[in-house]
């Protein structure tokens, strides 16, 4: 049985000619991009903007929907291309019919990104025209050609990245520095790109190194700088313990430079990682003026190692546990079992009977285990013990002066620094009547408490003093 087919004719457009022509016009946007901020590239960028503005306005079939341009932005990823992303949003809002761009490499050098956005725009009914390759994405052959040419563009980007990396490494081999000084306290750059000392900031750097060797921890230094409203590299009085540690280990402060500490893992994502031997490094001695002399810098590294070893030896999690309010934290050792003493507060809710004591952390171990037989010690006794032992050292300084002078000839920079420090402090300071926090941190390694009421203070010059707890 034959089927009946009825043709429904198209309805004639009843709008007037002017309106019809207006409706037929394509809303066209252009996308321009240059990958560097060099002068010749910026001129190319301006030329692109002017060209497409004139090109679209000159066509009777086109209506300018905007010129979107990113300058100085890499094409390997679209994440940081604000104008590009803004253009895509306009497409989603139905405000663009056609996008014109110079070439695939201007649009994206990442194949995945390129195809992703082309397909997204295709779903929105937006066509992309690549002038150089003469590709129209709504054409049936467009995506096949686009896939091939996008891969070529991506490979081109890889080659550019490798060539750039090669050039940077050749400069490294020649000892030529490429250092970002904007987040680098203590230095500026002159008109030739060379590092020069910022004298005002250099004073802060010297202070940090000195205070560390005076026994202060990175956290205490940071808090003190903030309290005094001392500006960091960004002009703000905000300091971090981690930043202080990085400054203390940065070889650039002694005038040297270790180049290629990090490397680019992937040229597309621009992700960087610490260089742990994956690519060569280059160490340049005396590459620029030093803020910290090499002896002090070396002494700081040895002091950091000493503190790490101390923490490891006694199972202390934090390197610089002691604070101004709690100077004995992590420094009182049990002479009976070798464990750390912990600070305890008895009757903490009643000030009349409140008492701070220190006792071995193995005094009360897990149930069924025998505890340490050492006795506890009052907090005040520790403060007084330091005063007594320090005064004994001052009274008997003549016995130690010759030893400290001999240590000035040591090959160890930290030993030399501490010998110089002890000579200065002990010869210039008399007996003290009360606990001095700065003297304590500068001179003391640890306090050992024994079961027979005996207590020793170990000094950082490898000697110790003894007293008895009353």
DSSP 305-321: HHHHHHHHHTT-SSTT-
In a domain, 175, yes or no: no
In whole angstroms, how far apart are CA 150 and each of 5, 77, 157, 345, 375? 47, 13, 10, 70, 76
Q: Is there a single domain that holds both residue 104 and residue 200?
A: no
In a domain, 170, yes or no: no
In a domain, 2, yes or no: no
Query: Token pair of 85, please?
Result: 């992303």
What does the alpha-carbon distance between residue 398 and residue 396 come to, in Å, rounded to a whole number?
6
Q: Can you state the angle between helices 142-173 and 111-123, rounded to 10 degrees? A: 150
Query: Would you state the pLDDT for residue 269?
Result: 47
User: Which CATH number does the domain housing residue 140 bear?
Assistant: 3.40.50.1390
Mean pLDDT within 345-374: 82
Q: pLDDT at residue 344 above 70?
A: yes
Q: If you search the block for the tokens 């810098």, which residue do you land on?
A: 297
Confidence of residue 273 (pLDDT cuts 50, 70, 90): low
Q: Is there a single domain that holds both residue 150 and residue 191?
A: no
Are 114 and 151 a contacting pair, CB within 8 Å?
A: no
Domain boundary among 135, 157, 179: 157
Name the CA dihedral angle for 322, 326, 328, 330, rounded to a multiple of 10 degrees.
-40
Residue 19 has a CB neighbour count (10 Å cut-off) of 11
Query: What is the domain count for the chain?
Result: 3
Name the CA dihedral angle for 321, 326, 330, 332, rounded to a multiple of 10 degrees.
160
If you write DSSP's letter for every residue of 417-447 in order, what string do you get?
A: HHHHHHHHHHHH----SS--HHHHHHHEEEE
The alpha carbon dihedral of 273, 277, 280, 286 has a sign of: positive
In a domain, 4, yes or no: no
Over residues 94-141, the pLDDT tens digits come to: 999 999 988 877 776 566 677 778 878 888 989 988 888 788 888 766
Q: Is there a single domain that holds both residue 274 and residue 209?
A: yes
What does the alpha-carbon distance between residue 340 and residue 448 come to, in Å, rounded to a whole number?
9
Query: Token pair of 350, please?
Result: 């009643």
Over residues 287-325, the pLDDT tens digits come to: 889 999 999 999 999 999 999 999 999 888 776 777 778
What does the alpha-carbon distance between residue 208 and residue 220 come to, in Å, rounded to a whole number?
11
β-bridge pairing 341-346 and 355-360: antiparallel
Are 100 and 30 a contacting pair, CB within 8 Å?
A: yes
In a domain, 50, yes or no: yes
Q: Which of 49, 97, 101 is nearest to 71 (CA)?
A: 49
Q: Is there a single domain that holds both residue 127 and residue 198?
A: no
Query: Would you state the pLDDT for residue 42?
Result: 45
Size of the chain, expressed as the number of residues it contains: 470
Residue 219: domain span:
187-292
User: Which CATH number does the domain housing residue 282 bear?
Assistant: 3.90.1750
Q: Is there a single domain that holds both residue 21 and residue 78?
A: yes
Q: Is there a single domain that holds both residue 194 and residue 74?
A: no
The alpha carbon dihedral of 440, 441, 442, 447 has a sign of: positive
Q: Is there a single domain that holds both residue 151 and residue 198?
A: no
> Long-range CB contacts (< 8 A, 24+ apart) of 345-351?
none
Q: pLDDT at residue 268 above 50?
A: no
Q: Is there a single domain that holds both residue 258 and residue 353?
A: no
In a domain, 457, yes or no: yes
What does the alpha-carbon distance between residue 439 and residue 215 come to, in Å, rounded to a whole number?
9
Q: pLDDT at residue 23 above 90?
A: no
Q: Is there a single domain that holds both residue 360 and residue 456?
A: yes
Q: Is there a single domain that holds both residue 285 and residue 346?
A: no
- Out of 154-158, 168-172, 234-238, least confident range: 168-172
Are 374 and 340 a contacting pair, CB within 8 Å?
A: no
Over residues 420-459, the pLDDT tens digits come to: 999 999 989 889 999 999 999 999 999 999 977 889 999 9
Give the DSSP H/E element, type plus range, for residue 144.
helix 142-173
Q: Is there a single domain that holds both residue 141 and residue 193?
A: no
Q: Is there a single domain that holds both residue 225 and residue 97?
A: no
Number of Cα atoms under 13 Å in the Cβ half of residue 269: 7
Query: Would you state the pLDDT for residue 146?
Result: 62
Classify each residue of 113-147 as buried b or exposed e, where b means 16 or more C-beta atoms within 10 Å of its C-beta: bbbebbeebeeeebbbbbeebebebeeeebbebbe
User: What's the whole-number average pLDDT of the chain?
Assistant: 80
What does the alpha-carbon distance between residue 404 and residue 110 come to, in Å, rounded to a whole number?
65
Domain boundary among 239, 271, 292: 292
Intra-chain end-to-end CA distance of the chain, in Å: 121
Residue 171 has a CB neighbour count (10 Å cut-off) of 14
Are 447 and 329 a contacting pair, CB within 8 Å?
A: no
Domain boundary among 157, 174, 201: 157
């Amino acid at each position: 049985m034959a089927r009946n087919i009825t043709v429904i004719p198209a309805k004639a457009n009843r709008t007037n000619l002017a309106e019809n022509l207006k409706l037929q016009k394509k809303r066209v946007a252009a996308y321009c991009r240059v990958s560097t901020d060099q002068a010749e590239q910026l001129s190319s960028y301006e030329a692109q903007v002017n060209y497409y503005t004139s090109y679209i306005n000159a066509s009777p079939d086109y209506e300018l929907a905007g010129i979107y341009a990113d300058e100085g932005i890499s094409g390997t990823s679209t994440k940081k291309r604000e104008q590009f992303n803004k253009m895509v949003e306009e497409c989603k809002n139905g405000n663009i019919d056609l996008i014109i761009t110079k070439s695939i490499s201007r649009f994206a050098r990442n194949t995945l990104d390129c195809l992703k956005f082309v397909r997204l725009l295709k779903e929105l009914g937006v066509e992309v025209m690549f002038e150089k390759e003469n590709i129209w994405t709504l054409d049936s052959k467009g995506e096949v050609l686009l896939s091939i040419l996008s891969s070529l563009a991506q490979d081109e980007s890889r080659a550019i990245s490798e060539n750039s990396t090669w050039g940077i490494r050749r400069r490294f081999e020649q000892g030529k520095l490429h250092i970002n000084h904007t987040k680098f306290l203590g230095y500026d750059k002159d008109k030739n790109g060379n590092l020069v000392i910022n004298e005002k900031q250099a004073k802060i750097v010297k202070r940090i190194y000195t205070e560390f060797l005076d026994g202060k921890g990175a956290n205490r230094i940071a808090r003190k700088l903030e309290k005094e409203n001392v500006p960091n590299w960004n002009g703000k009085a905000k300091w971090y313990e981690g930043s202080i540690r990085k400054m203390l280990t940065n070889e650039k402060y002694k005038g040297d430079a270790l180049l290629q500490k990090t490397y680019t893992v992937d040229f597309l994502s621009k992700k960087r990682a610490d260089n742990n031997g994956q690519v060569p490094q280059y160490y340049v001695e005396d590459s620029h003026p030093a803020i910290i002399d090499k002896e002090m810098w070396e002494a700081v590294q040895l002091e950091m190692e000493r503190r790490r070893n101390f923490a490891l030896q006694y199972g202390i999690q934090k390197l610089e546990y002691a604070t101004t309010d709690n100077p004995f934290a992590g420094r009182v050792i049990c002479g009976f079992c070798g464990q750390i003493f912990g600070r305890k507060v008895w009757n903490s809710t009643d000030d009349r009977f409140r008492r701070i004591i220190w006792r071995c952390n193995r005094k009360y171990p897990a149930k069924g285990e025998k505890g340490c037989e050492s006795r506890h010690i009052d907090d005040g006794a520790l403060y007084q013990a330091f005063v007594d032992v320090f005064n004994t050292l001052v009274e008997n300084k003549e016995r130690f002066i010759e030893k400290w002078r001999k240590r000035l000839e040591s090959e160890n920079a930290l030993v030399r620094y501490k010998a110089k420090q002890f000579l200065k402090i002990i010869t210039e300071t008399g007996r003290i009547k009360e606990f001095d926090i700065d003297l304590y941190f500068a001179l003391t390694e640890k306090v050992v408490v024994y079961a027979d009421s005996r207590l020793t203070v170990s000094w950082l010059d490898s000697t110790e003093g003894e007293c008895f707890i009353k």
